[in-house]
């Protein structure tokens, strides 16, 4: 239902996302993993057609057979919130502070012509009950500042699923919440996915969250897809040196004596990427050639881009 071919995003001629291709089937969940600044959110915003001013997308994004790139904003408006919806990272700032929560949830239903205002308000209360907000009829009249962080993220989810989109993009939906809330919100998202059969793109820097949510994982670094494949293979048998480094950096939480093993070096600035492999400067296998030429795509158990590493045979 969603097909990306060579999606690239650039800012004033400098690439920030390079040649991303992927396919997503109905009901399937793709996890986008990467450190901050790897291009995850850029990918999501490009899909929604909401890139900040100055960013230009090229390539192809097809959703249910419609090419989204080059579509007029008025046509995109008909798809946003209806065919594809998005949940943002910051529940504190992503809701309008001066409008009641219920009205913000009902808005999309009326906008897309699915319901009359009165029916939409009632539906908003039902949706709020569905996402587990207590006392939804009263909460619908509350303002965002009267809700806790977790409640706001639930309201955000209710808003996103209101029009029953076939694709839900969740950009770090639990990163701003504490751990126990994270578990609840992830469970809620899984339930809703079962009920509605929607496809999901789940963005996180947290591999444990990805493994809990995604059928397939795509590891993004410096605007380039490093490794992609079934989540269990990407996490269980990573072949790319960057993926291996990411997994090695996860704290095991067993002993205080164990030191964290961060990947040495820093994430390159997205607007100053080298022409070759963006990971070259930090990679144990990296040599002079790595930074010059784009790494070739190699496929096996997973698909990866590297000059040196080979994926395990399928």
What is the closest distance, in whole angstroms, from the C-beta atom of residue 204 to another protein in the complex? 18
Candidate ranges 25-33, 70-78, 184-192, 201-209; the one touching another protein (CB under 8 A): 70-78
Residues in contact with another protein, shown as a per-residue x/- string from 138 to 167 under the rule CB under 8 A? -----x-xx---------x--xx-------
Task: Output DSSP code: residue 146.
Answer: G
What is the closest distance, in whole angstroms, from the C-beta atom of residue 161 to another protein in the complex? 12
CB-based contacts of 176, cutoff 8 Å, min separation 6: 89, 90, 91, 92, 149, 153
SS3 19: strand
Among 48, 127, 214, 219, binds another protein (CB under 8 A): 48
Is there binding between residue 73 and another protein (CB under 8 A)?
yes
Is there binding between residue 86 and another protein (CB under 8 A)?
yes
Is there binding between residue 36 and another protein (CB under 8 A)?
no
Is there binding between residue 95 and another protein (CB under 8 A)?
yes
* Rounded Cα–Cα distance for residues 202 and 233 (Å): 17
Which pair of structure tokens corresponds to residue 110? Answer: 């009326």
| Parallel, antiparallel or unpaired: strands 216-221 and 224-230 | antiparallel
**Residue of 205, 200, 234, 256 whose CA lies nearest to 311:** 234
* Rounded Cα–Cα distance for residues 304 and 139 (Å): 47
Among 69, 111, 267, 291, binds another protein (CB under 8 A): 111
Task: Output DSSP code: residue 117.
Answer: H
165 vs 223, beta carbon nearer another protein = 165
Interacting residue ranges for another protein, rule: CB under 8 A: 48, 50, 73-74, 77-82, 85-86, 88, 90, 93-99, 107-108, 111-112, 143, 145-146, 156, 159-160
């Amino acid at each position: 239902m969603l097909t990306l071919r060579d999606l690239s995003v650039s800012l004033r001629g400098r690439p920030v996302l390079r040649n991303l291709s992927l396919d997503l089937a109905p009901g399937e969940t793709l996890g986008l993993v990467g450190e901050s600044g790897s291009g995850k959110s850029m990918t999501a915003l490009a899909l929604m057609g909401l890139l900040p001013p100055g960013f230009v997308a090229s390539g192809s994004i097809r959703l249910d057979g419609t090419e989204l790139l080059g579509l007029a904003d008025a046509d995109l408006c008909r798809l946003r919130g209806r065919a594809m919806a998005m949940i943002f990272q910051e529940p504190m700032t992503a809701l309008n502070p001066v409008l009641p929560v219920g009205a913000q949830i009902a808005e999309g239903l009326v906008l897309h012509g699915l319901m009359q205002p009165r029916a939409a308000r009632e539906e908003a209360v039902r949706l709020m009950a569905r996402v587990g907000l207590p006392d939804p009829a009263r909460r619908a009249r509350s303002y965002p500042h009267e809700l806790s962080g977790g409640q706001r993220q639930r309201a955000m989810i209710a808003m996103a699923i209101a029009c029953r989109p076939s694709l839900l993009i969740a950009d770090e939906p639990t990163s701003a919440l504490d751990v126990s809330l994270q578990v609840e919100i992830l469970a809620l998202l899984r339930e809703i996915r079962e009920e509605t059969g929607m496809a999901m793109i789940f963005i996180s820097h947290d591999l444990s969250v990805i493994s809990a949510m995604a059928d397939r994982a795509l590891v993004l670094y410096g605007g380039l897809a490093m490794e992609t494949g079934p989540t269990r293979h990407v996490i269980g048998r990573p072949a790319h040196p960057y993926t291996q480094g990411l997994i090695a950096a996860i704290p095991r939480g067993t002993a205080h004596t164990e030191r964290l093993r961060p990947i040495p070096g820093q994430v390159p600035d997205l607007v100053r990427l080298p022409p070759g492999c963006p990971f070259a400067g930090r990679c144990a296998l990296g040599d002079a050639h790595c930074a010059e030429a784009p790494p070739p795509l190699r496929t096996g158990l997973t698909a990866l881009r590297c000059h040196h590493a080979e994926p395990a045979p399928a």
